[in-house]
Structure 1
């Protein structure tokens, strides 16, 4: 992996964090390939090889459906999220395909309340080069705590 590839990869991670922190949910699916996988899973299940996930989407179309649900059908107390993402560690690079990991922390701020730590864990990703630039073909969001507040509405 050369410097340009790593720069583009870190830009992908930074742009993703900015998009999902901004509340512009329609941007979220555009970080993925058409045939993609996005799974949100507790660490215990991941470490033990259990398939049960909190959220699991298997295509960009499913991600777009989730955005529609967030915007049009889900009712919840509004809150803001702020994502802090560490630099990606490249575990394997083969041509135009990169296997990466990065730690993350998500802070949540409800209206008229103090900010709190909402979710902490790591991303385990497969990133591929497309004509539009680098995209996630697989994103596993492995959160550390077995306890999550109420439900997860927005993308992590």
Structure 2
């Protein structure tokens, strides 16, 4: 992978985090291919090879449905979130250009009139492909370290 491709990959991760932090829910599905996978899974299940995931979506349409749910059907105390994402580690680039990478992350949550707290910590294990619109996630497996999630998980990680 050359420096320009790596820069584009880091920008994909940065733009993704920025969109989530800005609550730009319409932008979230656009980081993915139409036929994509997005899963949020506890580390224990991932390491043991168990398929159970907290969230599991298998298409951009399912991601858009989640956005609808966030806006129209889920009721919760409002909060802000802030992602801190490490530099992506590239494990492999396939002959067709598919990038296999991962990055550590921490998500902080701030409720109105309260202090910020650590909400979720883990890593994302990703497959990224080049499209005419730039790099997109074909698959994103978010593996969080703690088995416990405070309250409920409303927003994507």
Partner-residue secondary structure (3-state), 1:104: strand
TM-score, length-normalised on structure 2?
A: 0.98
1:108-135, CA deviations, whole angstroms, 9 ceiling, x for partnerless residues? 0000100000000000000000111100
The residue aligned with 1:143 is 144
Return the alpha-carbon distance in structure 2 between the equivalents of residues 141 and 151 of structure 1: 16
Q: Per-residue deviation at 1:87? A: 0.3
- Runs of 4+ residues over 4 Å off in structure 1: none
Unaligned regions of 5+ residues in structure 2, if any? none
What RMSD, in angstroms, separates the aligned Cα atoms of the two structures? 0.5
Unaligned regions of 5+ residues in structure 1, if any? none
The residue aligned with 1:104 is 105
Return the alpha-carbon distance in structure 2 between the equivalents of residues 26 and 118 of structure 1: 23
The residue aligned with 1:30 is 30
Partner-residue secondary structure (3-state), 2:82: strand
The residue aligned with 1:6 is 6
Return the alpha-carbon distance in structure 2 between the equivalents of residues 66 and 77 of structure 1: 18
TM-score, length-normalised on structure 1?
A: 0.99
Aligned length: 156
Partner-residue secondary structure (3-state), 1:30: helix
The residue aligned with 1:152 is 153
Q: Per-residue deviation at 1:96? A: 1.8
1:66-86, CA deviations, whole angstroms, 9 ceiling, x for partnerless residues? 000000110000000000000
